[in-house]
């Protein structure tokens, strides 16, 4: 099959590696890809958000399966456009992608489907949101309804902080149209974990759990990021908790979406808060996580293309997924300054030496090829140093051994990835 992967992050590099392992893949294309992906796939210079150009390219080049990595093209309807052109896609329709594209839609859907989640209100007027915040008190959580690249959430520890968030999101519109509507919700305590399932419209096949590190600094301090590292399995998600997540969250959502005429297909990424053994759903994402995908693909031994096709074709029922028993861990290397301002174009060396450490794969998250074979930084999160080991401790030792071989003065990473589990 001719397969096109859409996106340019570490997630897409990990997906490309897994797809290349499948005997079903005859040609791999990536749009727009990065310098690491270029070693596995032919790069197509079309941005991930350009739904029209991607569809036209897929039609013109006889692409048979499009794997859509990020949320934006899904919310913009890339899967629908491809379906109309007779091309299979891995990823949900725009209607189903509203589970991520609109937090208000998602919360109302959870309420209809009976999924345990934080109590909430939806607001289109700042004054009404503020009155709700004053009535509820702090801590309280303020979220933009629309996509804000993972930044549209303020966990406020005081009423004043929550009121200021309403002003920034609705008044100053710091996230643009995403903040025209807000969700204000109850603060949930507990330990966070992510759970992934493949869905074909009717059947949900559990994948596994991952924990990530969202804060930029060691000890989970500093501003939120897209994720500075992750590991799988997540010890907090015991088999009993996994069963609760499937029964109480994933399956009611899949059934409800189908019953309402917007069947969900693709991977469903549940962000959960687990407190005293009880999971509650914080949010859904309609795609793999980045960097969560890197550790999932490091552990997956099943043929990813077969699974993606089964999700697209509605034939997941009766399938199983096989994993390596060894844990995997990824350390993200980011450009200094991230998640604030950072430089692009700095040179990165030592990648071959890093990749030579046993059990290690260096995935590119934000790179581009420079002159004379140089690899240049081209984003905030730049590398995902991923390792597998007999134990999580061994995976971590290997990942940091590889990190220390990377020669990049402008980069940094957290030194404590995996601390909760270790």
CB of 82 to ligand GLY, least distance (A): 22
What's the CA gap between 89 and 86, in Å, rounded?
A: 10
**Contact yes or no for 413/373 (Cβ under 8 A):** no
Residue 238 CB partners (closer than 8 Å, separation 6+) = none
Task: Give the DSSP letter string of 392-416.
Answer: HHHHHHHHHHHHTT-B-TTEE--S-
Under rule CB under 6 A, which residues in 119-148 are in contact with ligand AMP? 141, 143
The single residue among 15, 212, 257, 354 that binds ligand GLY, judged by CB under 6 A, is 212
**Contact yes or no for 159/187 (Cβ under 8 A):** no
Residue with tokens 């081209």: 378
* DSSP alpha helix (H) spans, 76-201: 78-84, 94-101, 103-113, 126-136, 159-166
CB of 32 to ligand GLY, least distance (A): 19
CB of 120 to ligand AMP, least distance (A): 8
Residue closer to ligand GLY (CB basis): 201 or 289: 289
Instruction: Extract the runs of DSSP E, i.e. beta strands, from 226-311.
Output: 229-232, 265-275, 278-285
Eight-class DSSP state of 288: -
Give, in order, the Cα–Cα distances in Å from 77 to each of 39, 135, 265, 372: 29, 39, 13, 39
Asked if 200 interacts with ligand GLY (CB under 6 A), we say: no
Residue 226 binds which of ligand AMP, ligand GLY, none (CB < 5-8 A, kind-dependent): ligand GLY
Asked if 150 interacts with ligand GLY (CB under 6 A), we say: yes
Of 173-181, 284-292, 307-315, 357-365, which segment contacts ligand GLY by CB under 6 A? 284-292
The single residue among 47, 271, 349, 370 that binds ligand AMP, judged by CB under 6 A, is 271
Q: Tell me the HSE value of 109 on the side-chain side, using a 13 A CA sphere.
A: 31
Contact characters 202-231, ligand AMP, x per CB under 6 A: ------------x-----------------
Give, in order, the Cα–Cα distances in Å from 118 to each of 28, 180, 260: 42, 21, 23
Asked if 242 interacts with ligand AMP (CB under 6 A), we say: no
- Tell me how crowded residue 348 is: count the other CB atoms within 10 A of its CB: 24
Residue closer to ligand GLY (CB basis): 291 or 359: 291
CB of 228 to ligand AMP, least distance (A): 13
Residue count, binding to ligand AMP (CB under 6 A) = 15
Asked if 77 interacts with ligand AMP (CB under 6 A), we say: no
Residue count, binding to ligand GLY (CB under 6 A) = 8
Under rule CB under 6 A, which residues in 154-183 are in contact with ligand AMP? 155
Residue 242 binds which of ligand AMP, ligand GLY, none (CB < 5-8 A, kind-dependent): none
| Residue ranges binding ligand AMP (CB under 6 A) | 118, 141, 143, 150, 153, 155, 185-188, 192, 214, 271, 282-283
| Residue ranges binding ligand GLY (CB under 6 A) | 150, 212, 226-227, 285, 289-290, 292
């Amino acid at each position: 099959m001719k397969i096109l992967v859409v996106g340019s992050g570490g997630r897409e590099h990990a997906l490309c590696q897994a797809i290349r392992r499948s005997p079903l893949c005859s040609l791999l294309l990536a749009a727009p890809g990065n310098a690491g992906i270029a070693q596995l796939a032919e790069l197509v210079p079309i941005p991930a958000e350009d739904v029209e150009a991607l569809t036209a390219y897929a039609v013109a080049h006889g692409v048979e399966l499009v794997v859509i990595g990020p949320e934006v093209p899904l919310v913009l309807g890339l899967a629908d456009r491809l379906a109309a052109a007779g091309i299979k896609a891995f990823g949900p329709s725009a209607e189903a992608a509203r589970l991520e594209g609109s937090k208000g839609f998602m919360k109302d859907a959870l309420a209809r489907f009976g999924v345990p989640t934080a109590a909430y209100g939806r607001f289109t007027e700042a004054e009404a949101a503020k009155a709700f915040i004053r009535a509820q008190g702090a801590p309280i959580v303020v979220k933009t309804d629309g996509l804000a690249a993972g930044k549209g959430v303020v966990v406020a520890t005081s009423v004043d902080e929550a009121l200021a968030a309403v002003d920034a999101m609705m008044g100053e519109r710091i996230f643009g149209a995403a903040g025209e509507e807000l969700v204000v919700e109850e603060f949930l305590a507990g330990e966070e974990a992510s759970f992934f399932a493949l869905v074909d419209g009717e059947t949900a096949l559990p994948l596994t759990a991952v924990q990530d590190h969202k804060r930029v600094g060691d000890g989970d301090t500093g501003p939120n990021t897209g994720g500075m590292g992750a590991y799988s399995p997540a010890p907090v998600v015991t088999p009993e908790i996994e069963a609760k997540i499937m029964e109480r969250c994933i399956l009611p959502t899949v059934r409800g979406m189908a019953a309402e005429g917007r069947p969900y297909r693709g991977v469903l990424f549940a962000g959960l808060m687990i407190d005293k053994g009880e999971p509650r759903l914080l949010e859904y994402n309609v795609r793999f996580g980045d960097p969560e995908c890197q550790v999932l693909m490091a552990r997956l031994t099943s043929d990813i293309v077969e699974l993606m096709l089964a999700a697209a074709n509605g034939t997941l029922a009766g399938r199983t997924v096989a994993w390596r028993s060894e844990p995997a861990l990824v350390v993200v290397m980011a450009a200094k300054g991230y998640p604030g301002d950072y430089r692009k174009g700095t040179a990165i060396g030592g990648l071959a030496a890093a990749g030579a450490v046993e059990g290690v794969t260096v995935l590119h998250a934000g790179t581009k090829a420079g002159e004379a074979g140089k690899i240049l930084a081209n984003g905030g999160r730049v590398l995902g140093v991923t390792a597998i080991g007999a134990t999580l401790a061994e995976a971590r030792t290997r990942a940091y051994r590889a990190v220390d071989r990377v020669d990049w003065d402008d980069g940094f990473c957290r030194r404590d990835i995996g601390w909760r589990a270790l």
